[in-house]
Structure formats: structure tokens, C-alpha cells
Amino acid sequence: MTHHVRSAPVGEGPRLPSARGPVSAAVQGYLRGTDPPPRPEDIAGATAYGDDLQLALYLCYELHYRGFAGVPESHEWDPDLLRVRAALEHRFLTALRTDVPCHDSVEDALADLLVEPVDGTGVSHYLCAEGELWQLREYAAQRSLYHLKEADPHAWVLPRLWGRAKAGMAAVEFDEYGGGRPDRVHAHLFAELMTDLGLDTTYGHYVDAATAQALATVNVMSLLGLHRELRGALVGHFAAVEITSSPGSRRLAEAMRRAGAGPAAEHFYDEHVEADAVHEQVVRHEVIEGLLAEEPHLASDVTFGMDVTGYLEDRFGDRLLDAWRAGRSSLRTSQSSAISLIS
């Protein structure tokens, strides 16, 4: 079977996804111009990590990326919608600050990131050892919410840094964007991976299939990136992603090879094994050390960003593994409708 990368026309955002509750339905209606914004009491009653709040937050954040088909671009800075987003963010961030156990220091948090768990029970371990092709496809479909805009949320922090931290961050981001070569942009490489797996590469195509846990891993990047006061936490998030990426990518590359996913699927993760091993050193010694040399008071924020990343990734991983070990699809919608093959 020959696969071809599919994408929406240039300049056209994805369609609005289906609502998951009263809050996301009201945000969706407001974007369409048919409904008032969500009521404060509905936002206050929404579960912080639940489908309704996470989708509503995702809808608000996507206005800062590619937007949605049929939604005016002016909605990006709509005052009423910004008030809604602030209330949603407050619910999410308050829950994270309450629920996430944090390390006492940046050094302790980094040390834990650098040690691979001895039990090997994570998603990449599972996929490497016994994952089937349909599970790799489900994993890629949900990860596409981030990887088709890989590096974009972290780029928000660049204007908030200076000196060593800015230079180091810019160097890593330059690599993420292909070092000036469009064919090596990591988002493009992930689209090619999706094509190998027979997935639709249209930006935002799998939002309806993605679980609340998957949405939260994406939303937290935008939350930290869009607020200057959270710049330290965004650096911590970036560090956690880069430091843990290389060993996980090595396992995922092996999983793709074992399942016969295809050369582009293998290449995406092989690329990250090499690149992120280098990025780890830059992030630790230039970005984090550079930031804390200038602003030592941000140390607890950096730690928070690292620990929040692990917390949300663990929740996502548990959701995947619980379903797969029970022989079920991990997706919100049925596999047959959500994961559409490209002929």
C-alpha cells in the first residue's frame, strides 16, 4: 500500500472538534458565534483533568497556533474568551500545584530524570517489548496533537530569556526546526511517520480520538509557554522532555522496527535518539544553569515544570497501558472510526 501525506489546505485550520461537556460546548458555540461564553459556575464545576475542561482549554490555546476553520482570527485576543481561558487555567494550575509532589531542588529533580526506572514499566518499554502495530498507531495518533507542532509551545519562552539561557534554548529549537531545512523539521518528520503508519496527517485530525490525559500533556506546554511568570516552569518542562527523550526514543525506534512500521516511522525516533542526547547537555548546562545564574529565584519553578511533566506523562501512560493490557483501544472514540487508513 502506498501512503501519501495528507494535510489541510495552507492557511485553513482544522475543523472544531466535538464538545465533551457544557464548558467545551459553550466555548465551541462562542467560537462559532452562536452562544455566549461558558458560565463561571460551569467552569468551577468542571473536573480539572477531565475531558470537558481539557478540551475547552485546548480550544482556547489553539487560537494561538493554527486556529480553526470558520473561526475569525480576531478571536485569539477576544477579551471574553481570554477571561474564560484564565478561569480554565486557574483550575488546571491549582490542581497541578496541589497534586504534584515536587523535588526539593533542581539538582534532585535532574538526578531523577537522568536515572532510568529499573522496573521498565512505561509506555515505551511496553511498546518495545510487546506492542502491536495498532497500539503504535494509537500512540502516534494521540501524540500528533503535539508532534505536528513540535517545539512551537516551547518557542514562546524565547523572548522571556536572555544571555546563555536564550542562546542555548535557541540552539535546541533550531535543531527542532530542522536546522533551516524544511525536510528535517521534526513536525514534518512526524507527519512522515504517521504516513508510514497509515494515519491521516491533517493537523488536529485526531483531537476527537485523544483522551483527556493526552490533551493535558499538550495543554500544559501552552499554559507554561504563554505566561511570562511561568517561564521557569516552561524551562523545567523542556528539560524533562529533552532529558528523557533519548532512551525512550531508542525503545520506540525498536518498536517501530519490530512491528515493521516503515523507514520514516523508524527514522523519527532514531533522529531523536541522537539529537536529544546532545540537547540534554545544552539544556542542563546552558539553559537551566544560564537561567538560574540570572534569576536564581526561579529554581522552584524549574523544579515544578520538571515534576509536572512527569506527573502528566505518567497519567497518560497509565491510561494507555490500562486499556492495552485489557485488550481495549486507548482512544476515546472507537479505533475503526478514529484511526482511518489512507488508501
22 near 52, Cβ under 8 Å? Answer: yes
Element (H or E) spanning 145, and its range? helix 133-147
pTM of the model: 0.93
pLDDT band at 6 (very low <50, low <70, confident <90, very high): very low
* The pLDDT value given to residue 280: 85
Share of the chain above pLDDT 90, in %: 86
Q: What distance in Å separates the CA atoms of residue 190 and residue 185, rounded to the nearest whole number?
A: 9
pLDDT band at 240 (very low <50, low <70, confident <90, very high): very high
* The pLDDT value given to residue 215: 98
Single out the residue of 103, 87, 1 nearest to residue 39, CA to CA: 87
pLDDT 10s digits, 145-197: 999 999 999 999 999 999 999 999 999 999 999 999 999 999 999 999 999 99
For helices 123-130 and 231-259, angle between their N-to-C axes, nearest 10 degrees: 10
- DSSP code for 284: I
The DSSP-derived string for 167-221 is HHHHHHHHHHTGGG-GGG-HHHHHHHHHHHTT---STTTTTTTS-HHHHHHHHHH
11: pLDDT strictly greater than 60? no
7: pLDDT strictly greater than 90? no
Amino acid (1-letter code) at residue 126:
Y
Question: Cα 182–175–157 angle (5° rounding)?
Answer: 110
21-60 residues labelled b (16+ CB within 10 A) or e (exposed):
bbbbbbbbbbbeeeeebbeeebbeebebbbbbbbbbbbbb
Q: What distance in Å separates the CA atoms of residue 191 and residue 202, rounded to the nearest whole number?
A: 9
Residues 6+ apart with CB under 8 A from 328: none
209 near 196, Cβ under 8 Å? Answer: no
Using DSSP, state whether 72 is helix, strand or coil: coil
For helices 79-99 and 22-32, angle between their N-to-C axes, nearest 10 degrees: 150
Q: What distance in Å separates the CA atoms of residue 333 and residue 328, rounded to the nearest whole number?
A: 11
* The pLDDT value given to residue 334: 60
Cα-based distances in Å from 63 to 49, 87, 94, 209:
21, 17, 23, 20
Domains parsed from the chain with CATH numbers: 22-99 (no CATH), 106-338 (1.20.910.10)
Mean pLDDT of 201-218: 97
The sign one gets for the Cα dihedral 166, 169, 171, 177 is negative
What average pLDDT does the chain have?
A: 92
* The pLDDT value given to residue 121: 81
Provide the CB-side half-sphere exposure for 99 (13 A, CA).
14
114: pLDDT strictly greater than 90? no
The DSSP-derived string for 216-266 is HHHHHHHHHHT-GGGHHHHHHHHHHHHHHHHHHHHHHHHHHHHHT--HHHH
* The pLDDT value given to residue 276: 65
* The pLDDT value given to residue 343: 32
